[in-house]
Structure formats: C-alpha cells, structure tokens
C-alpha cells in the first residue's frame, strides 16, 4: 500500500512540473536566461576585442602588438670595474636587469606559492581565483587578489591609457576596462614568453620603494646581496613587498614587514614547501637588514663616477643613447679592490692629518686662510666668500642687498647634518657656521695608473663626495711644486747631461723680465756650497741646482719636454717654472710620470674598455692613444734619477716603509708649494704609478708651517699606505718587481764614480756638456 502511494505522489509531481513549464511567465524567464547566456558567450569576446582595439575611441589606447612582444623598460646604466664589481649606476629609476639564472630557485618558489600558486597551470588568467575574490568581498574576508603574476607584469610594463569616455563614467567602469586590458595583455605575454621569462620580467619591473627598482637593486638595497643569495626569510620579505612596497618596507615599517614576511612563509608551509617546525623557527627571527639607498654619493669611486658621467653624456648624445634609461653596461679599468685600498689609505691618513692641522692652527690662535703676500690672516674671508653662495644670493633676492635681514638670516641656526671624520653628526649651524666649519677641511686627490696599458686603476677625488663635490684629480689644478723638477732634469738628460754631473749648491742669479730672480732652498738659504750630483740634488729637492739646470737648458725646452709627456695645462716658460709655479692637474702628472716607467712612450690615461647595450651587444671599444715622447734611454735615466729620492740618504722619499722597498724598485718625488698650501707625492714602481695631492679646497687654505705641509708628511703617507695594502693582496696582480731596462742599452754609465759617456764610436769620453743635437719626439 505504501509503495503504491509513493508512486502516485511521484506521478503527481511530474504532472505539476509539466503544467508549471506551460505557464507563460516561466517560459519568459527561461528564454531571458538563455538570451543573456548567449549574449555573454558572444558579447564578451566582442567586448574584449572592442577594448583591445579602442573601438570608436571609447576605451583609451593600448600598447601595440610589437610593444607587447618587445616590452621596453627604463634601465639604469651600470659602471663595472675591471674585476667585475658594480661601481654604481646612472639612473632616473634605479633599475638593473637580471636573468632567470640569476634568481635563486628559493626566491622563485616563494614568489609563485605566495602570489600565484597555479602560475604554471593557467595561461595568464586564473579563473578559479575569481569566485574566491568575490566571496571575500561579500564576506569582508579577503584572501587576496585575483591577479596572476602575468597580469601584475602587464600592469608594471605598460601605462594603461584610460582616457576614453567610458572610463570617465566612474570608478567601476574604469576598473572594469583596466582589468580587461590587463587580461588582453596577459594573454599576449603568455603567447610570446615562457613562464621563466615572465617571472624574470615581473621581478625586474617591480618598484620596491627606497629608490629600488627591480629585484637586483632591491636585494642590494635591503640586504646587500644578489638575488641568487637570499635565504628563505629574506626572500619572503622581498616577495611580501611586491603587493605594497611602501606599506611593507622593512626600513620604514618593520612591524608591517615582519607580519607580511610571516604570512608569506605560512603560505610556503601551507603548500608543503617547508615543514611546520621550520615555519615556527623562522617566524620568530627578526628581519636583519643591511640597508643602504643607492645614490651617487655612496659606494666606491664616487668622484670617478661623477667625472665620467659628463663624458658619457656626451658619448650617448652623439650615438643616440640615454645614459639614464638605456641600460648600458660601461666596463672600466678601475680595480674595485685597489680603489677601496686607495680610499682606505686616504681616510686613514687624512683623519689623522686633519686633527694635527686643526690643533696647530688652534695653538696659533689663527684661522687657516692666509694672505700669500703678507703671510697674515685674510680679513673678512668668510664674509666675502658667503657672497658667492646660492644662499646669500637668494636672501638678497628676497630682502634686498642692503637689508639687515640678510645678515640676520645668514646667522640663524638651524638643524643640519654635517660631515666629520667620526661619521655624520647632527648639529645646529647657521650658514656662516657651516661655511666656517667646512673651509677648515683638508682635501686630497689620488690616482693610480698602469704605465704599460694606460689603465687607471684607482681614482680618489676628495675626502667625501656627499659633502665635497669638487674633484681634485682631473677637475682641479694646482702648483705641483718640486714634483715638476723631473721635467727640468728630463730635459737636461735628453740633452746629454749625466745624472752624475756634479754642481755646487749655490743659487744662481738669473736675469728675468724686469730684473733678476734668485730662488731660495726650502730651508730659506741660497745654498750651502756643497757639491753634489744632479741625481742627489733632485733626490734632496735642492732648488738652487734645479735653477741652475733650467738656466742651462732654457725654460722653453722644459715646456716642450713636459708637453710631450702629456702636460696639457698652460706652462709659463720662465725660470721659476723649475719650482713648479704653473698649475697642473694630478691626472696630467701621473700620465707624464708613466712615460718614464714606460721607457719613453706616452700613453694617454684611459678608463673605459667597452660599452655594451642592455642586450649585451658591444657597441663601443676603447683603446688608449700612444706616442713616443722621449728616447727609452732618457726615460730609464729618469727612473734612476727618481730612485734617488728613495735610496739617497737625504732623499725626500727615504722615509717610505721598509717593507715596500724590500725586493722592489721604487722611485719617488715629493713636492710642496712655496706658501705651504699644497703637498704632493709622485711614486713609481715597475707596474704602477700613483700620484697624491693634499691641500685645501681654497688656495688660500695653508698648512700651519712649510715643514708640516711638505709632501713627505702630507701626501707621501697616503701613497705608502695604499701600496702596502696593494702588495698584501696577492690576488690583485700588482706585486713588487724591477723597472724595465732599455733594449738598446745605455749610452752612459750610471756609476757616478766613473762619470763617463759612450761616444758614437764606442770610445769613452769624459764630459759634462750637453748634446743638443739629439732627436726630438
């Protein structure tokens, strides 16, 4: 009976259902659903096509197919050292590309599991994620966005034009159109690139806050690592920043970044990539940053980068590149280790020298700005100098030149961060305080060059590029003092004089325009009357004998000799030139001394070997220019002369560290200007020539005394420290050794006990007189 009733019930239900279908309103509903369904099926592709092609200009433009297939990205240009280390970048947006092989598998896995775990399964759009997103919105419990890595890449690569009429209707239409464009571009990206390429492009295009664009710069900025060296918690920090770089910046918002990092690592656990124990251990670890925002004031070779920038800008303009955005790789001759050693040597010595400088001037109760004519302090030095500053000019524009407000504002104290040898310090300074403070600092320049190749290996343009922008290697010129004397003696040697020629230490009286000139020695006398060889005279830096030599060989011949060796600055052909009275740059001096070591061949300093475009194609090669500047025998005799400064018992370079001189041939020349404002040292070895200058930014900044400021005390210690560091590093390849000898032999003996010269017929001829008929180069 119960079975029969159940059957009847089922039959009735079917009848009722059939009757319901016949009702008109139900049929309309079904018809409407089918129409909407068919419209969606047919209309959605038409809609996507319309957006992609900006039909009737309603949706805004789209990148071309060519642009999608070949996405462009603003890339910083990178300066690379001879040993493959990045010296810095030129950029508007600090971005540098990496390849997929340069990404650690750990970083890639963390990105995929955290951001798009079905990345390898979809074709740019993850439709399974959309129901989750919608449900999250409805329940106010969002579990993340629905954008895939490919969609996020599309958004990073292209500025999506949304200036069409429909986009202006409101936020929702604008959002829908933007998403549609992302879908279309994502589809094209998936068609044209592999998954690995998409991941690489994505990580290269993210802005990670703190002026870090792309994964490479981000890893360097936050952890001082490369992308292939991150550990799991560091990778989680970087991946967490992908969603919101500012909010999850570990430097600015450490707690936010920590929470986000742990969320990312939980996803790794949730997907089975790490164990629960590993997750529990890692989540309690702090974020250990090595944070440093990259700019032109940080890193090594800052002055070199700044000087080189202007030259590169000219080259790029000529060849159609943008230094800031073309992603060039500029390979240089600078060795990163030698550069670091040079900067360390400078800092070690200059910090100590500055203390002594300040102490001695304080003991004299005087300021270091000195009038060369009177020897007294320059009155109103700071008041006159402030008038050349932008601060003063802006105040005059605001208040008027005669307004008391200008003086008042110049002395208003305000918070500022200043340089000190103990590190940056915060203080309250007025503009006048700042000027007074910074004008007391000694500056320096140092350059090391390989004499055989012309390659510059180290370049130190000052003590701190952030606070002192002026480059003292190539930009600045100063009187070289006694470091110019080798050009006088070189002229004499070329004329046939022997290094063994003996002269008396008596200052000559030389006729000059308008009177006579008679130089004093550094001790203030006109000579002791002692007899010595010209090698000894140069080694001891005796002015009187140098003056005798320029009187013999004539100033114009000295100028000619110096020009052939690479001195390009104007030289005044006067007798006082022998004491280094014409300004030259350190850059010129190092190149000129290299001509001695290179046995008479001048080689123009060079610092760029090649330039590559962003794809690694070599677009320029550079080779140094060379020329024969003097005979190789003359050059070697000058090496012998310069060695005297180190080996002579009274030589001004005698005080070099003993370890430097063991099993090593060294030549050196100190220099100090007359009023003790510049100290120089030029040091030569068989494979490295290095020059050092020390002084104030202003010529009127003087050392407390000539003895204190002489090159052997102010500049030579930097060379000593630098070379010591270089020799200790056996991997650099610039070890000790001996100078090359002329292949043709010598035309005179360098044994001063004999003092002979070989004549053309091989007979021995004793002589002190020059041979002016020698060939010129």
- Domain chopping of the chain, boundaries: 8-52, 67-295, 447-614+630-713+740-765
> For the segment 301-332, what is each residue's pLDDT rounded down to a tens digit?
999 999 999 899 999 999 999 998 888 999 99
Core vs surface per residue 654-664: b (16+ CB within 10 A) or e: bebeeebeeeb
Per DSSP (E only), the strands in 452-492 are 456-460
Q: Establish how many alpha carbons lie within 13 A of residue 23's alpha carbon, considering only the half-sphere containing its beta carbon.
A: 9
Query: Which homologous superfamily does the CATH classification assign to the domain defined by 67-295?
Result: Biosynthetic peptidoglycan transglycosylase-like (1.10.3810.10)
Question: What's the pLDDT score for residue 164?
Answer: 57
Mean pLDDT, to the nearest integer, of 276-299? 87
Residue 137 pLDDT level (bands cut at 50, 70, 90) = very low
Contacts (Cβ under 8 Å, ≥6 apart) of 468: 419, 438, 441, 443, 462, 697
Residue 298 pLDDT level (bands cut at 50, 70, 90) = confident
Question: What's the pLDDT score for residue 773?
Answer: 39
> For the segment 497-547, what is each residue's pLDDT rounded down to a tens digit?
999 999 999 999 999 988 999 999 988 889 899 999 999 999 999 999 999
Q: pLDDT: is 386 or 13 the higher one?
A: 386
Residue 44 pLDDT level (bands cut at 50, 70, 90) = low
Mean pLDDT, to the nearest integer, of 406-425? 94
Mean of pLDDT over the chain: 86
447-614+630-713+740-765: what CATH class?
Answer: alpha beta
Mean pLDDT, to the nearest integer, of 173-179? 63
Question: What's the pLDDT score for residue 334?
Answer: 98
What pairs with residue 680 in β-bridges? Answer: 671, 693
d(CA 188, CA 47): 17
Q: With beta carbons less than 8 A apart as the criterion, state whether 668 and 645 touch.
A: yes
Dihedral-angle region of residue 54 (phi above 0 means left; psi in -120 to 50 means alpha; beta otherwise)? left
Question: What's the pLDDT score for residue 771?
Answer: 42
Model confidence at 366: pLDDT above 70: yes
Most confident of 21-30, 57-66, 365-374, 573-582: 573-582
DSSP label at 739? P
List the single range of 221-235, 409-423, 698-712, 754-768 with lowest mean pLDDT: 754-768
Question: What's the pLDDT score for residue 156?
Answer: 73
Question: What's the pLDDT score for residue 15?
Answer: 53
Model confidence at 95: pLDDT above 80: no
Residue 142 pLDDT level (bands cut at 50, 70, 90) = very low
Of 671, 672, 668, nearest in space to 689 by CA: 668
d(CA 387, CA 410): 10
Mean pLDDT, to the nearest integer, of 408-429? 94
> For the segment 470-503, what is each residue's pLDDT rounded down to a tens digit?
999 999 999 999 999 999 999 999 999 999 999 9
Mean pLDDT, to the nearest integer, of 374-388? 92
Alpha helices in 291-380 (DSSP H): 302-319, 336-363
Kindly calculate the radius of gyration of the chain based on its CA atoms and give it in whole angstroms: 37
Model confidence at 345: pLDDT above 60: yes
d(CA 579, CA 483): 8
Question: What's the pLDDT score for residue 45?
Answer: 61
């Amino acid at each position: 009976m119960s079975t029969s009733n159940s059957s009847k019930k089922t039959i009735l239900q079917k009848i009722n259902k059939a009757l319901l279908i016949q009702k008109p309103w139900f049929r309309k509903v079904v018809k409407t659903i089918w129409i909407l369904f068919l419209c969606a099926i047919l209309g959605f592709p038409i809609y996507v096509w319309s957006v992609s092609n900006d039909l009737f200009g309603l949706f805004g433009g789209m990148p071309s197919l060519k642009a999608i297939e070949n996405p462009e990205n603003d890339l910083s240009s990178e300066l690379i050292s001879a040993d493959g280390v990045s010296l810095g970048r030129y950029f508007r947006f600090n971005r540098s590309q990496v390849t997929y092989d340069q990404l650690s598998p750990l970083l890639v896995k963390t990105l995929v599991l955290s951001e798009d775990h079905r990345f390898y399964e979809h074709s740019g759009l993850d439709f399974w994620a959309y129901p989750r997103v919608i449900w999250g919105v409805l329940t106010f419990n969002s579990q993340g966005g629905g954008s895939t890595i490919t969609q996020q890449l599309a958004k990073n690569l292209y500025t999506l034009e949304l200036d069409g009429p429909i986009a202006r209707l409101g936020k929702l239409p604008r959002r829908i159109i933007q998403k549609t464009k992302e879908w279309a571009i994502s589809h094209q990206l998936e068609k044209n690139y592999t998954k690995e390429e998409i991941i690489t492009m994505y990580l290269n295009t993210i802005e990670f806050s703190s002026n870090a664009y792309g994964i490479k710069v981000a890893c360097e900025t936050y952890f001082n690592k490369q992308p292939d060296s991150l550990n799991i918690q560091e990778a989680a920090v970087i991946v967490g920043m992908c969603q919101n770089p500012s909010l999850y910046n570990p430097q600015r918002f450490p707690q936010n970044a920590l929470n986000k990092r742990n969320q990312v690592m939980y996803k790794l656990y949730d997907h089975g990539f790490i164990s629960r124990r590993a997750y529990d251990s890692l989540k309690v670890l702090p974020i250990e940053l090595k944070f440093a925002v990259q700019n032109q004031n940080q890193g090594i070779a800052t002055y070199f980068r700044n000087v080189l920038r202007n030259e590169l800008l000219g080259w790029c303009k000529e060849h159609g590149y943008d230094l800031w955005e073309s992603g060039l790789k500029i390979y240089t001759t600078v060795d990163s280790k030698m550069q670091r050693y040079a900067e360390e040597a400078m800092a070690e010595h200059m910090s100590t020298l500055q203390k002594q400088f300040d102490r001695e001037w304080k003991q004299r109760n005087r300021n270091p700005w000195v009038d060369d004519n009177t020897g007294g302090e320059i009155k109103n030095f700071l008041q006159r100098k402030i008038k050349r500053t932008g601060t003063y000019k802006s105040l005059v524009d605001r208040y008027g030149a005669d307004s008391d407000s200008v003086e008042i504002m110049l002395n208003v104290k305000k918070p500022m961060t200043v340089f000190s040898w103990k590190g940056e310090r915060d203080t309250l300074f007025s503009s006048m305080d700042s000027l007074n403070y910074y004008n007391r600092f000694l500056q320096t320049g140092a350059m090391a060059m390989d004499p055989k190749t012309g390659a510059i290996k180290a370049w130190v343009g000052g003590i701190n590029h952030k606070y002192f922008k002026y480059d003292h290697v190539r930009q600045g010129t100063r009187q070289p003092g006694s470091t110019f004397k080798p050009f006088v003696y070189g002229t004499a040697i070329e004329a046939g004089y022997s290094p063994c020629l003996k002269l008396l230490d008596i200052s000559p009286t030389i006729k000059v325009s308008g009177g006579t000139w008679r130089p004093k020695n550094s001790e203030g006398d006109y000579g002791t009357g002692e007899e010595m060889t010209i090698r000894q005279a140069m080694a001891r830096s005796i002015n009187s004998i140098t003056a005798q030599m320029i009187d013999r060989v004539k100033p114009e011949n000295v100028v000619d000799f110096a020009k052939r060796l690479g001195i390009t600055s104007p030289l005044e052909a006067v007798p006082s030139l022998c004491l280094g009275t014409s300004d030259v740059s350190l850059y010129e001096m190092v190149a000129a001394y290299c001509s001695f070591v290179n046995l008479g061949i001048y080689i123009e300093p060079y610092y760029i070997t090649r330039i590559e475009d962003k794809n690694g194609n070599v677009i320029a090669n550079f080779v140094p220019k060379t020329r024969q500047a003097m005979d190789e025998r003359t050059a070697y005799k000058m090496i012998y002369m310069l060695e005297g400064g180190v080996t002579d018992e009274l030589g001004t370079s005698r005080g070099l560290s003993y370890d430097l001189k063991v099993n090593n041939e060294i030549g050196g020349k100190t220099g100090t200007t007359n009023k003790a404002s510049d100290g120089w040292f030029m040091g030569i070895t068989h494979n490295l020539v290095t020059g050092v200058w020390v002084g104030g930014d202003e010529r009127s900044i003087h050392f407390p005394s000539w003895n204190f400021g002489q090159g052997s005390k102010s500049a030579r210690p930097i060379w000593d420290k630098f070379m010591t560091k270089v020799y200790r590093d056996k991997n650099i390849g610039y070890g000790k050794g001996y100078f090359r000898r002329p292949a043709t032999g010598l035309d005179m003996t360098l044994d001063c006990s004999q003092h002979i010269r070989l004549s053309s017929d091989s007979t021995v001829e004793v002589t002190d007189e020059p041979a002016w008929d020698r060939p010129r180069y």
